[in-house]
Amino acid sequence: MRKTLYFGLFWLLLLTSSAFSSQDWSEKQEKDGIKIQTRKLQNQKYQEIRAETVIESSITKVFHFISDPNSCKKWVHRCRFSEALSLNDRNENVIYQLTKFPFPLKSREVFLSTKTTSNPDKSIGIRMKSIREIKRDKSNFIEIHEASIEYLLEPTPKGGTRITWQQYVEPGGNLPTWAVDKENITFVRKSLGNLKRIMTLDKKNDRKFTELTLIRHGLF
């Protein structure tokens, strides 16, 4: 029990103090309620991105939606296919994801190990890391060299969810640095925009369903 508690606290400190620290970030743009920052650390070929927005939906709904691989095509920009695979030898969930790149570039594929942590402050952390030890069948796609993606979901006082998304991706292939940096920003911004729209629409549908249910039971 103590070991589990210590590990959970260690992971929380690592997530909040290291991954989501404000060190060296510069503001890139803020549009439609989505704030995007970038930084380029030593030995990194491309920019690392951090984005933040507030979604008018409960943290439970947002978590269940984004953690479902079947939802990928609905909100993740250029997601062509995603599926959950079996656990790996470290007891982590593994996801296969295929991302469509603009013509004439080849699509990119990646295997991601995922780990989720529920924190004492009721926030939820999701960490995804590319793994390359899985044997692949012959593929026409390019494998992403490195991907590190982290989401931090925090409940807001009004029942919404603040989501902080941080990622570093090396897409593989011989692509100009400036083009990759630009596309990564577009990718994160459009994905969060899709998520906000879907969750807002879902909330409206829930409200209508609740009202109709109350009317039918003579309670509205």
**Strand partners of residue 83:** 96
Q: What is the pLDDT of residue 89?
A: 57
The C-alpha angle with vertex 11 and arms to 7 and 16, in degrees rounded to 5, equals 150
Q: Could you give the CA distance from residue 165 to residue 53 in angstroms, rounded to a whole number?
A: 9
Q: What is the dihedral of CA 9, 10, 14, 15, to 10 degrees?
A: -40
pLDDT in tens, 35-88: 999 998 888 899 999 999 999 999 999 999 999 999 999 999 999 999 998 765
β-pairing, 108-118 with 142-143? parallel
pLDDT in tens, 138-181: 788 999 989 999 999 999 999 999 999 999 999 998 899 999 99
Q: Could you give the CA distance from residue 73 to residue 89 in angstroms, rounded to a whole number?
A: 28
Q: What is the pLDDT of residue 99?
A: 96
Higher pLDDT, 49 or 1: 49
Domain extents for the chain? 2-216
pLDDT in tens, 94-116: 999 999 988 888 999 999 999 99
Residue 126 binned pLDDT confidence (cut-offs 50, 70, 90): very high
Q: Which CATH number fits domain 2-216: 3.30.1490.20, 3.30.530.20, 3.40.50.12240, 3.40.50.300?
A: 3.30.530.20
Closest CA to 9 of 157, 128, 154, 125: 125
Is it the case that residue 215 has pLDDT exceeding 90?
no
Distances (CA, A) of 129 to 33, 78, 214: 27, 19, 45
Q: Could you give the CA distance from residue 170 to residue 145 in angstroms, rounded to a whole number?
A: 6
Q: Could you give the CA distance from residue 202 to residue 198 in angstroms, rounded to a whole number?
A: 6
